Structure 1
Amino acid sequence: MRLTRHADRRRIQRSLPIEVVSTIHAYGTERHAKGALSLTLDGRAIALAAEHDRRLSAELERYRGAYIIVASGDRVVTAARRTRRFRR
């Protein structure tokens, strides 16, 4: 996983630790988004990442709804927090 400069700036602006971005990249729920891949930290991803670790689960709950956009070449283009429901 490589972050672009834009993704790193957005991650810092939106208070997303690099560990959370890595967790989203490893366990996030996938959706296709305009030619790229959107990975979201939802309940399923939190359960997979925490694996019965309540402390880690509680920490990740703070970032529920955070997502990253991954382009070709496994590059993270941007990182954000979802403020509205996902439209299908």
Structure 2
Amino acid sequence: MALTKHAQNRMQQRGIPPLAVELLMAYGRIEYQNGSQLLYFDNRSFKRVCKKLDAARKNIEQLAKAYLVIGENGQVITTSHRTKQIKRK
């Protein structure tokens, strides 16, 4: 997955490791918002990640609120941590 320079900067500033991006791409729930995709962990997808990576569970729990915004061209635009609930359509 290609990352914009902005996304790379935000990952570093917000302490989001590349593993989080990979896990979100593989297991995250997708919501479509304003022409972009928002990938995040809901309870179900996060449980799947925990089951898959049981040994590393303690380390990945902090990533439960991470999310990605992916643009129309398929590049990750930005990454962050959720501070409020995502509105589903």
Report matched runs for 1:1-88 at 5 Å. 1-51=1-51, 53-88=53-88
Q: CA deviation at 1:36?
A: 0.4
Q: Distance in 1 between matches of 2:2 and 2:26?
A: 13
| Contact 1:41/1:67 (8 A) holds in 2 | yes
Q: Aligned to 1:51, what secondary structure does the other structure show?
A: helix
| Contact 1:47/1:57 (8 A) holds in 2 | no
Work out the number of aligned pairs and report it.
88
Q: Distance in 2 between matches of 1:26 and 1:50?
A: 13
Q: CA deviation at 1:72?
A: 2.2
Which structure has the highest helix share of the two?
2
Q: Aligned to 2:63, what secondary structure does the other structure show?
A: coil
Structure 1 unmatched runs, 5+? none
Q: Which residue identity is paired with 2:29?
A: T
Q: Which residue identity is paired with 2:69?
A: I
Q: CA deviation at 1:19?
A: 0.8
TM-score, L = length of structure 1: 0.86
